Amino acid sequence: MPPEATFIFPHGFMWGTATSAYQVEGSNTNNNWYAWEQESGRIINGDRAGLACNWWGGRWKEDLDRAAEMGQNAHRLSIEWSRIQPHPDRWDEDALENYRRILRGMYDRKLTPLVTLHHFTDPLWFVEMGGWEKDESPGLFERYVRKAVDALKEYAGLWLTINEPNVYVYGGYLGGGFPPGKNDLASAFRVLTNLVRAHAAAYHAIHKIQKEARVGACIHYRAFWPKRSWFPPDLIAANLVSSNFNNAFPDALHTGRLRFLTKSIQVKEAAGTQDYFGLNYYTGEMVSFSPSARTDFFHRRSFPEGALVSPTAFLANVPQGIGEALQWAKRFNLPILITENGIEDDIDILRPRYILEHLHKIWRNINHDVPVKGYFYWTLVDNFEWERGWSQRFGLWGLGDGQERIRRPSVDLYAEICTKNAFNSDMVKKYAPQVYEQIFPE
């Protein structure tokens, strides 16, 4: 008889999915990503967000119905700065009321909101005045945060200030595919410094408005391993990449000192400004030293040999990396929320395996005293994936050309997990039999 077991998660564990405003709301023409879409060659296939998932038109109701029916007890969403403050001297009370309506709807569906205040998008007026490169930016962000939190505090008490500041900086200021499309080390350091200051200002402001609030940020952790463990240059390259991409921002919030590349600055007001640690994990990579790769800081990256890759080869299924990520996050001595974890898979073959293998690693770490308090799968329904447009499908639910929602097998898998607060051998046999022996070795 093959071994059988049930892996039970802690009582009160948060099970949810994650979304972001620009990716699901649609009909937004007032931020930097809309402007970026209008530039030729910026988005794969020339895609446009357009209606996205039409949440601004009300389709959030049925999508959150689906989340609740799946047994989820939480949902991570973001609110859009450019809607709430469309001009520097104007607040849109109708937009705030619409967000109140969504949060009330979550309350009615018994979904605890985790509200992200900045998820990659900036108002056009903010960009035109210089954006995050300007010293005024943290104060402007704090002003928006005060307005939003004061308006929404009746329905929310769990706040996430800034989503993946490391991705924002690397994508927009070190040669990536995000606006404003710069490749400038000095600009990158200024922006990262101002994001640290903005988080700190938001943290203190939120606690003045709502003393019982829990406030954090989330970092995109990517596991980096030396491709040749015996070769010192690969070891050095992997450590340097990890130190700057993974460590810079959370270390600054922990110690009050920001170290990034060759620069270091004291940001004392940022020390100790997290009530929980938000962790996004998708994949891991091998790093090799390459003297010819000057624009990539003298290294190249590849997925581990034999790892299964997603349909567009954007991600690989590397579950051991989330175990490393959790051990890394544990050193900050905070409760941990896994605020994103998922894979793009339009045919839904790899996704069930990905979810189960990652949850198995998470469960093992919880049982070794890593304080994981919740898990948010990215994402509920296919949405607009930034510079990759509509070419990637991360949703448990698919999105058709006519806005129809398409039920994938992973819907039923995740519903069973959320409902039972556990997964077991029967689920693995049913949804991902190819990994049964890995999860339940004899």
The reply to whether 442 falls in a domain is no
In this prediction, residue 442 has a pLDDT band, given cuts at 50, 70 and 90, of: confident
Integer Cα distance of 66 and 380 in angstroms:
9
Extract the tokens encoding 125: 């007026």
Per the CB < 8 A criterion, the answer to whether 167 and 220 are in contact is: yes
Residue type, 168: Y
Q: What is the pLDDT of residue 1?
A: 60
Number of domains in the chain: 1
Give the list of residues 6+ apart from residue 278 with CB closer than 8 angstroms, or none.
Answer: 160, 216, 217, 218, 219, 337, 339
Q: Minimal CA–CA distance to 343: which of 332, 352, 333, 330?
A: 352
The pLDDT tens digits for 178-221 are 999 999 999 999 999 999 999 999 999 999 999 999 999 999 99
Strands 397-399 and 257-260: unpaired
Asked whether residue 4 is domain-assigned, the answer is no
| In the predicted structure, residue 296 carries a pLDDT above the cut 90 | no
The residue range of the domain holding 375 is 10-407
Positive or negative torsion for Cα 54, 398, 23, 97? positive
Q: What is the mean pLDDT of the segment spanning 411-417?
A: 98
Q: In this model, does residue 325 exceed pLDDT 80?
A: yes
pLDDT band at 176 (very low <50, low <70, confident <90, very high): confident
pTM of the prediction?
0.98
Question: Residue 251 phi/psi, 5° resolution?
Answer: -65, -40
Report yes or no on 418 lying in a domain: no
Q: Is residue 65 part of a domain?
A: yes
CA atoms of 130 and 215, how far apart (whole Å):
27
In a domain, 426, yes or no: no
What average pLDDT does the segment 117-132 reach?
Answer: 98
pLDDT of residue 267: 98
Q: CA-CA distance, 112 to 75, in Å (whole number)?
A: 6
Assess if residue 216 is contained within a domain.
Answer: yes
Q: What is the CATH number of the domain that holds 50?
A: 3.20.20.80
Residue type, 91: W
Q: With residue 222 as reference, give the H or E element that holds it.
A: strand 214-226
- Supply the pLDDT for residue 4: 86
